[in-house]
Amino acid sequence: MKFSITKDKLVENVNHIMKAVSSKTTIPILTGIKITASHDGITLTGSNSDISIKSFIPLEENDKEYATIEKNGSIVLQARVFSDIVKKLPSEFVNIEVDSRLMTRITSGSSEFNLNGLDAEEYPRLPLIEEGNVLHVRTDLLKHVIRQTGFAVSTSETRPVLTGVNWNIQNGNLSCVATDSHRLASRTISIDADENAEYKNIVIPGKSLNELSKILDDSSGEWVEIVITESQILFKAKHLQFYSRLLDGNYPDTDRLIPAESKTDIVLSTKALLQAIDRASLLAKEERNNVVKFRTLSNEVEISSQSAELGRVFENVDIQSLEGEELKISFSAKYMIDALSRIDSQDIRISFTGAMRPFLIRPVEDEGILMLILPVRTY
């Protein structure tokens, strides 16, 4: 194998692949990156037990030449070392040549590295996915959905299914829900799918979606193709294939957690509330549970918190409307900040059903987003 490639393009694609490479693996070859040169371009592959990523670099695109290939072939190189080397090479071009003993020579400017390679035939094959029903989602929309739901997954392995985001697809709608049993985030969007396409209880690891979001480029107005099987999901974007395993187990029925009616409804500015809670949390953080108190007054709400060592903070925030009973409630500042910072709407509606019942946060203009938080007992 012998080829030359621009350093920037190589570094960009190696960075994508590194998200799927784990140093903690029982299969030693998976600590490597597989590099394949063929007549139309260069393919990089990385994999661990959860995700696999395949990234393709064309020889040229949009009148830019990225690579020239003298001899086809493939090799597996130790990922961490290869990644560190290519980032620090001195010239804008990198030459890679593999001999019959799998010794890989990497040259750039006056720098030369010789790495021991592994036989690419030993590298596990990626899952073969039959492309039946293909779903299409705009890249920027998919990234929004991941950002607005993935933060609420559980980080505890006691209930593995809660470390994932639950996807349900029917009637051309994709509904995504995540919960760690103290809070919940839900987003529903319409997608380009076959009318008969129906998938229930697809649970995708939150970590997988997070890594996918980092490498999707939403600046170009592209679409992502999604293919779902019994145990795998495949996301195909331009020059990129991202495979993730699905989590086993039944996701809890979260619909029953969402209160059907409320006793107090408040409409106020998202930004004003977020900033007030952020300031109150400066003292709340010092306490073990980071709790902020929230109390309705006639045309404003009072946000307060206190720390036994540091002192107290009070702040009033104007509200646009208040319907129903007066209310005092306490909640985790972190959970509230997480939820509010992911709502892009100018104003929100918060619906309370009592001081010890979960409350709902929704953007005023968008019924597709819903956040739920359980309060904390302090009053």
| Cβ proximity of 139 and 218 under 8 Å | yes
**Average pLDDT of the residues of the chain:** 94
| Cβ proximity of 32 and 79 under 8 Å | yes
Tell me the C-alpha distance between 327 and 330, whole Å: 10
pLDDT of res. 252 = 95
Q: Which helix (H) or strand (E) holds 268?
A: strand 264-269
| pLDDT-based confidence at residue 79 (cuts at 50, 70, 90) | very high
pLDDT of res. 379 = 57
pLDDT of res. 287 = 73
| pLDDT-based confidence at residue 325 (cuts at 50, 70, 90) | very high
pLDDT of res. 130 = 81
Residue ranges of alpha helices (H) inside 117-239 are 139-149, 206-215
279-317 pLDDT per residue, tens: 999 998 877 779 999 999 989 999 999 988 889 999 999
> Mean pLDDT across the stretch 220-248?
93
pLDDT of res. 365 = 85
> Mean pLDDT across the stretch 328-333?
96
Question: Which domains does the chain carry?
Answer: 2-122 (3.10.150.10), 134-255 (3.10.150.10), 259-373 (3.70.10.10)
pTM above 0.85, yes or no: yes
85-115 pLDDT per residue, tens: 999 999 999 999 999 999 999 999 999 999 9
259-274 pLDDT per residue, tens: 999 999 999 999 999 9
What percent of the chain is modeled with pLDDT above 90? 85
Tell me the C-alpha distance between 228 and 305, whole Å: 46
Of 107, 124, 180, 171, the residue nearest 149 (C-alpha): 180
Tell me the C-alpha distance between 340 and 240, whole Å: 32
Q: Which residues contact 162 (CB under 8 A, 6 or more apart)?
A: 153, 154, 156, 179, 180, 181, 251, 252
| pLDDT-based confidence at residue 342 (cuts at 50, 70, 90) | very high
Q: Does 171 have pLDDT greater than 80? A: yes
Structure tokens at 337: 């900040």
pLDDT of res. 244 = 97
Tell me the C-alpha distance between 185 and 177, whole Å: 6
Alpha-carbon separation of residue 264 from 90, 99, 321, 345, 373 (angstroms)? 63, 73, 11, 21, 15
pLDDT of res. 286 = 76
pLDDT of res. 219 = 72
pLDDT of res. 228 = 94
Q: Does 254 have pLDDT greater than 60? A: yes
Tell me the C-alpha distance between 48 and 247, whole Å: 15
CA angle at 365 for the pair 364 and 371, rounded to the nearest 5°: 55
Tell me the C-alpha distance between 131 and 113, whole Å: 41
Cite the beta strand spans of 118-198 per DSSP E.
134-138, 164-170, 173-179, 183-190
295-304 pLDDT per residue, tens: 999 899 999 9
| Helix, coil or strand: residue 271 | helix
> Mean pLDDT across the stretch 50-72?
96
Q: Does 220 have pLDDT greater than 70? A: no
Alpha-carbon separation of residue 134 from 16, 129, 173, 196, 227 (angstroms)? 24, 11, 14, 11, 5
Tell me the C-alpha distance between 39 and 291, whole Å: 60
Of 161, 155, 151, the residue nearest 185 (C-alpha): 151
